[in-house]
Structure 1
Amino acid sequence: MGDVMRLFKSPLGKLFHNPKILAVAVAIAAPAAARADVIVQNTGVTGFPGTFNFIGYNSSNVAFGQPVASKFLEFGGRFHPQGSNADAAFLASTTVTATQNGVTFNVPAGNSIPDPNLFDRRIAYNPNLLGSWQLTVTNPNYSNSPLVVNTAAINPNIGAPPFITGIAISGASNATTTPTITWNAPAFTPPSGYNQATRIFIVDLNNNKQTIWRADLPSSQTSYTIPAAANLSANGHYGIVIRDDYRIQSNATTGASSHSFFDFHPTAISQFNGPVYVPVSSLNAVGETVYSFHIDVTHGQSYNLDPAAALGYIFSVGATGPNFASVILPELGLGHPYGLYIWNGSTYVHAADLLANTLYDFGPGGVSKFKVLGIDESLGLDPNNSTAFVTKVTFTGDGLFTGTMTAITAVPEPSTWAMMILGFAGIGFLAYRRRNRAAALATA
């Protein structure tokens, strides 16, 4: 210690009394790693551009919190230290802002396992914000902070890629966590200077909508088997996002993107043989969840439709599609039949007390609407879960089924209950067993 003090008091040591010289000395003495690493764009990874800026189009999906279709702008970038990748500490300590036309937005770190360097912001569509965004990346631990980069501008005439339709999910009972997804991709031609790309994302809806899996597919591919590496839980609730992009070929920056949203529970896939067709969900004017289908159907072939239900549901055919020919309802452990009602043109009339897994034939010509009641509220079926209630139907002819299903979440009118009671009068013993079973469950 004495030697240090003597050096500090010496003519050489007095140089360090000058604050400027002292600052230089401290900088030289600082650990090289603290100032050598720099922030870089993720430009070297195929399919993951450093910056992006595009117009997006969302289909509706109630489980994703999107009750109606929407149009939006999405922009941001992928940044990380030059010396490391997927650096959680870097994401937590880095801020990114985006500025255009005097407007500034914070661009938060993404919540994506397969895209760990992502900083992403989505805003409502604004025709005045289609230009280039200036992204400012700030982290004082890196020598080139703040890093300033610019996105490409959006072509306002680019148009919208079409949504995919007719999504179905299939898998054996021992492979529900690795289901195969199939869909129909409408034919279209990308604008000049763009190519078409398809991406599929798997989202954990039970875990803050975290993206847990992503795959880039050839534009001609219309099926995908979710691998075991995605680590799906048989009891989970997952979202599927299938994206069709118009992308600039030089740097993979998207110009426009359609996002088709669907959700499913793996345990619902194998209730019946064959694929399960998953609908698009939305809210109608009175807040009811409506599930819409878009399927090419063939007379005599069965289709597993996968809507949701709380107390019941209403199925309706589309404006031009074939009528329903028959229906089979799933086993939920109710202990009593469902109440099946048929639309006669002005009202619903009781048709049958239908047991689960029992075929009901609607007769010549079929029906355009039918309603099912009698689902116990205690079962807790979520009207926002599109795979809570797999229903097998057939149709009276070939054509495009664009029908809907509306979840019934309110208690039926007294007159409807009267009809149900009459229908159940001959099966009081089953109803008694159900009440005892419910009481036992309540005390368990």
Structure 2
Amino acid sequence: MRFASLRLIALGATFALTSFARPAAAVVTFNQDLASGWTQGTGTSNGHFTVDTEANGVELGLRASLRFVGPITPSGNLYIAPVGSTPPGSALWNFEFSVNPGSLLGTYSVLTITGPGGVLSFNPQIIPDNTPLGGPLYQNSENLGFAFLGGPLNFNPNASGIYTFDLKLFSAQNQQLGDVSIQVNAVPEPSTWAMLILGFAGIGFMAYRRKVRPANLAA
């Protein structure tokens, strides 16, 4: 009995030390402002981000927005975007990211995009036109229709599809420091849906008329 009690005490002490040593869990919030602020580009405002906030000062954000209009209001981390294109073959929607490594040095990020046509992973920090803020924070607004993204993904802006964006931050020792993801469902606009419904109704009515007409002639 004494040895069993000692084992239980040892296990309890080990668990307590392990729990104390573990870092605080990440907090992922939805439809939020970035605490770091949104400074990339003009004409767009902060808000509607899915945000991972870490105790070490790391903040990662992702969102989808209507091109030249503004952010899309999500449901959780799900963003509904319209199918369609603007010249020269860009989607009607953008994805936007923000990476703030806080005071940590030597970090790097990986953005993985998964779509119907393929998967692409890259370090978004290497995009040449990231907002120059004179600090560790970097942000950008990108479109899957841009050649360096759309080519590897076989992206078609006029086709419906589900796209997953996953943004991770790593230390120089390859330890994961943060992770945030969103899903963008590209679907036909409501007007397109209405036209499709009317089209199907018209086809059904024509089929009904063809079926009824022979019956009337036979009578």
TM-score, reference length from structure 2: 0.41
Q: TM-score, normalised by structure 1?
A: 0.23
Q: Which has the larger radius of gyration?
A: 1
* Higher share in helix: 2
Higher relative contact order (CA 8 A, sep 6+): 2
